[in-house]
């Protein structure tokens, strides 16, 4: 049984874990000792999670469904509101740290890193840009493009779980989860691996939800 393998620190996370869906994968990761350290909010915040990278890599493409089983994410987080194609999240520091780790290992999409000023410069001019050039000259922006097409609501949910600070949702259904070092709002180019065409009914569905 999955829950006999999970460390005591994971007891609350186990309550939110779908044992049927995640049991085999999480059990394998525990047996491989990929997730056998203290994974909790405090250890992540203080960068004391010695197995986080290995655990993220072991969960592989099931990270979204199963990260709650091992304490890497909070499955109950909800966006306060969705009122545009770009949104900003109020993430905890430990969520931001997890995002950087997920982006490094990345089994859920494509990681893209670029100068934070490169695409932002097209939208900002004058004095503000001069200030930003001084403060962000050496800053890189890291974003994660999720592989599959999805609705705006699904994009928001996935980026919240990943620990992203912002998101950009393209009309094609491509979802870009944006890291905390980026200037608003990441890259303006869609780079989702398997998202070329998109079902227009999902766009209509999103509009009716707002």
pLDDT digits (tens, 9 = 90+) for 137-183: 678 999 999 999 999 999 999 999 999 999 999 988 999 999 999 98
Q: What is the mean pLDDT of the chain?
A: 80
Average pLDDT (10-25) is 74
Per-residue confidence band for 17, with pLDDT thresholds at 50, 70 and 90: confident
Q: Is 50 exceeded by the pLDDT of residue 9?
A: no
Which percentage of the chain shows pLDDT scores above 90? Answer: 53
Q: What pTM was estimated for this model as a whole?
A: 0.69
Quickly list H helices, the chain: 2-5, 11-15, 19-31, 41-45, 52-59, 63-66, 93-105, 116-120, 127-135, 152-162, 200-209
Maximum mean pLDDT: which of 12-21, 126-135, 164-173, 191-200: 164-173
Among 50-59, 60-69, 128-137, 185-194, which is the least confidently predicted range?
128-137
Res 131: pLDDT: 59
Measured in whole angstroms, the distance separating CA 36 from the mean position of its chain's CA atoms is 22
- 8-state DSSP, 112: E
Contact 172, 195 (CB under 8 A): yes
Q: Is 60 exceeded by the pLDDT of residue 102?
A: yes
Of the two residues 200 and 93, the one the predictor is more confident about is 93
């Amino acid at each position: 049984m999955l829950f006999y393998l999970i460390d005591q620190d994971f007891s609350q996370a186990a309550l939110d874990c779908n044992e049927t869906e995640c049991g085999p994968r999480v059990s394998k990761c525990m047996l491989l000792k990929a997730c056998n350290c203290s994974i909790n909010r405090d250890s992540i915040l203080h960068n004391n999670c010695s197995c986080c990278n290995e655990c993220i890599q072991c969960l592989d493409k099931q990270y979204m469904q199963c990260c709650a089983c091992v304490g890497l994410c909070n499955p109950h987080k909800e966006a306060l509101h969705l009122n545009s194609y770009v949104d900003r999240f109020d993430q905890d520091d430990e969520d931001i740290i997890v995002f950087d780790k997920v982006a490094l290992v990345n089994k859920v999409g494509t990681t893209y890193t670029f100068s934070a000023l490169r695409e932002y410069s097209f939208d900002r001019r004058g004095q503000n840009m001069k200030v930003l050039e001084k403060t962000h000259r050496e800053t890189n922006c890291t974003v994660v493009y999720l592989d599959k097409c999805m609705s705006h609501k699904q994009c928001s949910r996935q980026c919240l779980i990943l620990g992203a600070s912002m998101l950009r949702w393209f009309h094609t259904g491509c979802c870009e989860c944006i890291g905390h070092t980026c200037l608003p709002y990441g890259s303006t180019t869609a780079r989702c691996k398997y998202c070329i065409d998109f079902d227009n009914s999902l766009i209509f569905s999103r509009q009716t939800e707002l």
